[in-house]
């Protein structure tokens, strides 16, 4: 690989990083919460987020299969 090609690839990687940061995909920091939560609270939040995600995918015509959320007593 020649030096010019290496610099071009480096520029492409940096441009991709900047675009990801601008769109909130790539974040420079992580948020850590020390709040104690029950497993039921965590499960409820995950189900809520998953339903919102699925709804967003379906509204854009991206979901091709139905996803069913099962409780602990179901397979």
Q: Where are the domains of the chain?
A: 1-32, 34-75
Q: For position 44, what pLDDT does the model report?
A: 94
pLDDT of residue 42: 92
Sign of CA dihedral 15, 16, 22, 27: negative
How high is the pLDDT of residue 62?
A: 57
List per-residue pLDDT tens for the chain, 75 residues long.
566 677 788 889 999 888 888 877 776 666 677 788 899 999 999 999 998 888 877 776 655 455 555 554 544
- The CA distance from 11 to 7, in Å, is 6
Q: Report the pLDDT value the prediction gives residue 75, as an integer from 0 to 100.
A: 47
pLDDT at 3: 64
- DSSP code per residue over 22-72: HTTSS-SS---------HHHHHHHHHHHHHHHHHHHHHTT---S------T
55, two tokens: 């709804």
């Amino acid at each position: 690989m020649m030096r010019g090609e290496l610099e071009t690839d480096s520029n492409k990687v940096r441009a991709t990083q900047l675009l990801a940061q601008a769109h909130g995909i790539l974040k420079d920091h992580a948020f850590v919460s020390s709040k104690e939560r029950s497993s039921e609270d965590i499960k409820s939040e995950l189900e809520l987020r998953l339903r919102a995600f699925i709804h967003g995918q379906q509204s854009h015509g991206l979901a091709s299969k139905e996803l069913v959320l099962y409780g602990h007593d179901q397979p």
